[in-house]
Amino acid sequence: MSVDQRPAPRASDLDRDALLVRLHRAYAEGRLDEPELDERIGRALSARTHDDLDRIAADLPARRAVWTPEPGVSGRLQVACRSEVRRTGRWRCPETLAVVAHQGGCLLDLRDADLPARATVWVLAHRSTVRIVVPPGTRVEAGGAGVSTSVTAAPAWDGVTVRVRGLVHRGAVEVTDRPA
């Protein structure tokens, strides 16, 4: 009696590309030297199945978990009406984010956030304080009525840029690279 074995799933170009990114990350972290990287890239490009890809990276740390947003938190609009909004820890910052605060407060802590290369934060605040904390080395471009910055670290030449545009009445928008 023969055992019916299914063939291993075929690897796609996207699967091979994901492994190439993982190999380059391992090289950048010092886990692979240049000859090992070259050899594994060659094997990855000719891999036909998922099993082939898995064998190439078997001795590397597991892939990072896929990030999922916490339930009930919207991404592009944050509203604080007589309340407070706090975005801290790991979260995905969209390229364009709007904050509306009326007699409330908002803290956007971008230090651990997944930031795009260029993010724009639009703020409309009435009798409210909106505080935005950026990672050190972030280039900040601020403008509008009532927007102030106190970023002390010099921006990295290839770093992230955060643009803050705001209109504030009897409140403040503060952008800083230092936690409170």
Is residue 48 within 8 Å of residue 19, measured between CB atoms?
Answer: no
Residues in a beta bridge with 107: 86, 131
Side-chain-side CA neighbours of 78 within 13 Å: the count stands at: 26
- Nearest to residue 167, comparing CAs of 114, 118, 119, 130? 130
Please indicate, yes or no, whether residues 168 and 125 belong to a single structural domain of this protein.
yes
Residues 111, 25 share a domain? no
Q: What is the mean pLDDT of the chain?
A: 83
Number of domains, the chain: 2
Question: Is position 167 within any domain?
Answer: yes
Residue 70 lies in a domain: no
pLDDT at position 158 is 66
**Residue bearing tokens 């030297």:** 33
Task: Express each pLDDT in 110-141 by its tens digit.
Answer: 999 888 889 999 999 999 999 999 988 888 88
For residues 158 and 85, the model is more confident at 85
Give the tens place of pLDDT for each residue, 49-103.
Answer: 989 999 999 998 875 544 444 443 446 888 888 889 898 999 888 999 999 999 9
Mean pLDDT of 160-175: 89
β-strands 172-176, 147-150: how paired?
Answer: parallel
Q: Does one domain contain both 85 and 37?
A: no
Q: From edge to edge, which strands make up the β-sheet containing 172-176?
A: 84-87, 105-109, 129-133, 172-176, 147-150
* Domain assignment of residue 46, given as a range: 13-56
Residue 78 confidence (pLDDT): 83
Q: H helices of the chain, where?
A: 13-28, 34-46, 50-56
Q: Per the structure block, which two tokens stand in for 91?
A: 């979260």
Do 87 and 148 fall within a single domain? yes
What per-residue confidence (pLDDT) applies to 33?
92
What is the arithmetic mean of pLDDT over 17-43?
Answer: 88
